């Protein structure tokens, strides 16, 4: 399961210090990942960083 956006995951799971990537907990037996929101409004991640985060999820 992948959450699009760090804030979404932090609020939903009460994990204010969560980071992008694979998370320790699972949901219904599924791995849980957080990926950066690719919106142009997200100035924290440039294209190369977005590609790297999504490639890690794919693997």
Per residue in 16-49, pLDDT (tens digit) is 999 999 999 899 999 999 988 777 666 677 778 8
More confident residue, 56 or 32: 32
Rounded Cα distance between 32 and 18, Å, is 12
More confident residue, 23 or 53: 23
pLDDT greater than 70 at residue 54: yes
Rounded Cα distance between 45 and 36, Å, is 7
At residue 14, the pLDDT reads 95
Q: How many domains does the chain fold into? A: 1
More confident residue, 57 or 34: 34
In terms of residue numbers, what domain contains 29? 2-58
Query: pTM for the complete prediction?
Result: 0.72
Displacement of CA 58 from its chain's centroid (Å): 12
């Amino acid at each position: 399961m992948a959450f699009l956006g760090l804030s979404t995951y932090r609020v939903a799971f009460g994990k204010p210090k969560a980071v992008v990537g694979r998370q320790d907990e699972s949901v219904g037996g599924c791995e849980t990942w957080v990926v950066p929101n690719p919106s142009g409004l997200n100035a924290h991640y440039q294209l190369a960083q977005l590609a790297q985060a999504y490639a890690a999820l794919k693997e």
